[in-house]
Chain A
């Protein structure tokens, strides 16, 4: 925000309530537990409050609060789920070969119905409430372990080798899971109706 005032920019109630919603959405997706998400967000906001003087504006404040929350979520998830359950993982990967048969022909090329079509540009899509609703739904539908590795990478911003070490998986395994998550998310978003035509109209 450009405006400079004597009241701190992040005391703005409209900004704070939007920020709170964004933080909760993020925490709920990671923890899959509304009460625990609420607690984590509350703690992150409280921690930021005690440091209030160090932020120049809302954008800096927001980055910082998200950073605190991210660390909290990483700690919480570490305690909760140390390793990957191997038999559950094998079941998931079996499910993946079913998906491959829907998407690809036997020769390894896209099947006619599944061939990816044009989507809206990021500039357009990310502005649409409809997109975010679909995105959250599709994230919730990811198989558990695939979703977990993907979230560690893209939401908690951990490096791939950090994730592999922590879950005691090979680098190849890790990158397969991230690939499967991306493939599933784009497939789910398409099936739920994301297309360049719809989103404009």
Chain B
């Protein structure tokens, strides 16, 4: 099972590029067991939505990444 410190990095990278199959697997195995990383994922989604809203990008300011 991956470490939170590495999984959080992958969750951030996933907003920038497509993860490899191995990376997805690591994330997919880790998330169901870790509420901290699940919350982290939603939090960085909110950070992205807020950044875009503040910059006048994306009228709604909310994208799928931040949803449940």
A-side interface residues toward B, CB under 8 Å?
22-23, 25-26, 29, 59, 62-63, 65-67, 69-70, 100, 103-104, 107-110, 115-119, 121-123, 125-126, 131-132, 135, 153-157, 160, 175-176, 178-179, 182-183, 185-186, 189-190
Tell me whether B42 and A135 are in contact (CB under 8 A): no
Tell me whether B51 and A154 are in contact (CB under 8 A): yes
Prevailing SS type, chain B contact patch: helix
A15 to chain B, nearest CB (A): 14
| Contact (A117, B39) CB under 8 Å given A109-B3, A160-B16 | yes
Tell me whether B4 and A175 are in contact (CB under 8 A): no
Tell me whether A119 and B43 are in contact (CB under 8 A): yes
A153 to chain B, nearest CB (A): 8
A16 to chain B, nearest CB (A): 14
| Contact (A26, B13) CB under 8 Å given A116-B39, A122-B46, A126-B49 | no
Which one, A104, A153, A185, contacts B5 given CB within 8 A?
A: A104
Which one, B39, B48, B54, B61, contacts A25 given CB within 8 A?
A: B54
Q: How far is the CA of A189 from the CA of B43 in the complex (A)?
A: 10
Q: Which residue of A lies closest to B49 (CB)?
A: A122
A to B CB contacts below 8 Å, 9 in the list: A29-B54, A69-B56, A107-B3, A110-B37, A116-B39, A117-B39, A153-B16, A155-B51, A189-B47
| Contact (A154, B4) CB under 8 Å given A116-B36, A118-B39 | no
Q: How far is the CA of A130 from the CA of B36 in the complex (A)?
A: 24
A186 to chain B, nearest CB (A): 4
Does B62 touch A at the CB level, under 8 Å? yes
Q: Which residues of B contact A22 (CB under 8 A)?
A: 54, 56
Which one, B6, B8, B57, B66, contacts A157 given CB within 8 A?
A: B57
B22 to chain A, nearest CB (A): 17
Number of interface residues of B (CB under 8 A): 37
Q: Which residues of B contact A23 (CB under 8 A)?
A: 56
Q: Which residue of B lies closest to A134 (CB)?
A: B50
B38 to chain A, nearest CB (A): 8
Tell me whether B62 and A123 are in contact (CB under 8 A): yes
Tell me whether B55 and A182 are in contact (CB under 8 A): no
Q: Digitize B9-46: 1 where CB-to-A-CB distance is under 8 Å, 0 elsewhere.
A: 10011001100000000000000001111011011111
Q: Which residues of A contact B61 (CB under 8 A)?
A: 122, 126
